[in-house]
Structure 1
């Protein structure tokens, strides 16, 4: 309280035999008319000589003072908490959104704390940083605990956001920084490593957001404590007043008698998704600067459903319960549904999976807004959390009252499991009515948030994630390659993310001779220990293979290729050159001749014959025969007049393919791969899916080729094959790379890269682009998270594409390149979605694919596989529904 000098304000003194009452009117902070009232009252009492009158005066003054404070305390406005944006270790600066960040020095609790810290500057900005502010400056904490004090007073909650950019600051190794962070006694982070976390999720920076309980007295104290023999750092701190969006207790699924009172909980934001919509930047979030991400990386592979957007005829409007504080309108104007085909929807759940820390309770907030339907009971569904029923008979119209009105529902779930390992599964499934037949079996979701609540130990901290082994393995491969004397001159690390993940270490090789293609890359993957055999005979193999396909003489091959004339060369691959030739008096064929210096040898030669001689499918290239004579290894195939798919995408003089042609080729290739995975007696994994191994004939029918690296399962129960890694960089499955365990999902990943190559018409690896764009798979995931994928579409087809067709295509391609195989769809699912894309492109109004015979496109002919008849007419649309081999 401010005290004035004795002469600055009137003082009134009254005496009695027992005490003196001394009042300072200014200290009372009362209206200026009050002193005059008091003076009049004093003069009135001065005429009375008794001591009791003086006592009455004193008591009146005290009573009036207390009443005045009480009245003013009730009516005066409370101080509002001021947003604090601290540029730790930096100076005052304004970011690109116009927000002002101030230095953090004056918020450090004491000079002793400041003496044990230092300001530092990052050596360079990572291209994936959202902004230089606040990440280019840091505050380093050397050893002891340091506390920031924020003078806030708030009856409502506060957002606390902590920003970390793990890089080298001076001589500080980012991987030596382990520390803890606590806010007013709540442990937010413990033994936290920003570098390990960033490496594990392949992000350049880390942002942690917490919702703190109101600070009704004192300061907000944020304490940062380095671990023993370590240091701590932080780049930015935000303390922002937030509306109280957690007012109601939330029922815990499975424990409905014990609701979670969020008013007494500190929460951490784990996930915030705009379901079915695009990335929403902080400046677009109703003034609350929240970030809303796309949901595609978290969708289960079972079914990704269909996305939609409210049309202009429907107005999304807030209500008293749902305001802009809950979510921006952009969240409620887009949605993901199961799709319009009820029969199919009944066989699936719409599922999102989130990796979280075990032994915590989580609040799952689901945002809904119905803008397609207007009556109750038109779309009714059940909600499940971790296989437990959270809500039966959810009906958005019944909840909200009408179309266009948003509503949200909170559910809590306790996640148990091993320390540091847990997951939340959010699943929607159409409600099956026993009393009436519903016209539509479907579900809808517009937005989703997941918050972690502190445990009984006032703790929110989880363990550091386990980094991917990919970078370590790739670096080791690179070192070994260098040690072998290779002239590698440039190395680029590419990453793909969850919703971003590491692909591989890409090694680009500059050739010494100018006439060698600059686009060729050196395969640094481990090679099988067996030597590259080039013997003139493979023993009994000739006799075995002769029973499977035709055996050509070397003279027939030479006659058909004009003695391997260079003018007949139509392609070059890892196995060797491919020649255009003729057999049997004029039948055109493609003849692939082994290169003596090729890394692929007799094993691949035998494998190709064994595989293709047993397989017949419209979308697999047909092997006619082989020649193994005089040290030659030659394969003879059907001639594909239009060459490889890649020849029609980029770096070519050929006219660009239309979007419909590209879709049809993708459908055909997916059909061939689906047949390999599920149609043969044993599952077959191609292991080298890429655009140069997808051929097109004179009728533009796509056929998958090159089975030299393929693997065939010996039993239907075998889920993976432990094998040395082989494949092509840019298409290589990161899970296969780090585990050396091959699955059918490895083909799905490679095919996902093919889909983006078709969409964007650019190489999968391009060293001429900026670092973050070198890897196509890496960059498209970055663009999907940012909602900028449309910018990458090949300009030749951008005007042809139906928007919904593009959305489905991008969604399925994005799921294919998920880091973990379990998160990828099966090839049967991919095939169905591509068929759906094609029909959306041809008929935007939609076709009931459940009743459409065109869906069975696996083949128009029956195929004979090891004396078994495989009929595509019996093949299911969804392999996981009726055929367990689809998994």
Structure 2
């Protein structure tokens, strides 16, 4: 459906053949990915299904299982199609897939209990997946049985973020039972599905629950470019006579444009989002119906897992009438989600498909109700829906560790005997070398202390050994053998990428070193940060270098700058990041040569940065304190999407348990006064620094300006003083003063004020800050437009209107109204990380 994820390590001796789709239709030509596995389990022969060739697992895939506890079975009717063979497991076993490209992968498991010598319907088992470098996995299916009264295959579909390396799928029988599988698919999802740089210390894992072609017939994999099933919607309608199917008399050509986004709505730019058959049918409202209110809503009801979060994607395409005439509301369990349509709606053309994503929690309820109904401002009482998808978010509660290995060499397929013999001999040699190394190390080993470790002198800058300095030790005295060595980039390639660090490519100079623009051999534009020369071998910048790699190699998020690689050859300390086209937030606030950011852009940038910091504090494993939040460390990509950067001063640890005692580090003007006094670092120190950034965004001036009078020199102190005196308008950047709605300004300034409280206990969490900023954004979005000559501070009370705030309540809510109503505080959904790049609305408290 949508995504971009990451994650994984590699395993022992194996020779995995990549399976390719040998007979794809013309619709699939534009989508050919290197990692594509279609496996016919338990068969010696290949099988075809919907244009895919499923290759026999006995010859092409690495299967790790005790040969006496795994066997292939066939149907008693001797048919050799995909669903008439299976592999059964009497103890835990797994398949291994070599993954070359990180991203979000679609994983499908096929089950059919055909008639055979084994009663497959009695199988009871778990399915685990291990897609990431942390060696932790997720339980995809628990106590699963494949019983199906319809005698049709059960297909379980998942979306997983996977890193390059080896991806494993475990089948674990329960008690005295067994496990089985008929077929497996693993392939990279199209990029248009992916939340850009979806990032988490955990991989993204979604389980498809419903995929519905609203108003149309069942759509089979033959008619879908990535082989999805779309079910008809009539069985989900709460009131069958409230709507009718609609199909144009002549099939129009859909206007699929570039994936533009506006107010959370996104253009469906390709049939990877949904096939034309979905967008060319719809459910529309019928006329006045006896017993139903007028106007009424069309409602679909879906049974879901209780106490779970779900991603919901709704598909729209106006094949019904003039978009300017049809204005309607989208609801979930009676709560307004969003208004759709109208003369100012971004997707105003007929036959133009688009979609909208949001997150819902099911608290103690097992139902999600999705409704559409006319907006009170509509001239036509009508609403429609073309398609709908619901995916359950598999949370941290499903985390699991890999089972103890039961594999022996005879149980692993495709073993190269020569490789095994060579490896044994090589292994003996390696053991001898290790023993000598250990004895030598014991003789010369010296104790090292945290943050005061001494490093042996390095070779002269630019010359000497190419040995890695990161594998020698760390600031804790332990080898950094847990770093992602797959991120290493040679010094020679970086020299070539930057034209030998040409000053013409210099982006900026920083405390750690200079940053250059570069182009890697694969054509990717990157930012190359080269540490300052360390002629004396003191290793002063080494802790920051190591910290940056450790932090960024284990976290990824749309609003955190991604680490592409690093180089530690010779005495070099080089970090390579994704290139941020628009530079830093500070550049756009102060640089007179750059266009001024609008108020809306500034709000979106603050929201993006807050999401990144919120993820660091709560989403990353163990919690991370950035410790140097400032406008120069908030970078903007080509679309002005904000990403937090520079993690050299970061500290890890359980943030909600103890304060971290540490030497004060950071940037003057942004430093938390309580941290300065006590040297006790908490996540609230980041919150204070972010409060300074908020004032910086509002005023467009530095945190410290020594050219100003003493009482205005420190932005935080001056801003708080103006706020208390009710002189807030003095703070606002004059270039955007006319753009800001008073209600939005009030909420924004209150948020900054809360962040800048002297007592850390009085400051909000980053999750609360995020919620408040999103609320300020919605206040701005729903504000009455004012011309530049109008006073932004006048008529503040009359301009205030309740916004359409998409922080969605629990589906257990029983509100049933067509009027705009904000959910209660206790109903607000809490989302730890952003799941879709398109999900712009409030998904965190």
TM-score (norm. length: structure 2) = 0.39
Whichever of the two has the greater Rg, that structure is: 1
Higher relative contact order (CA 8 A, sep 6+): 2
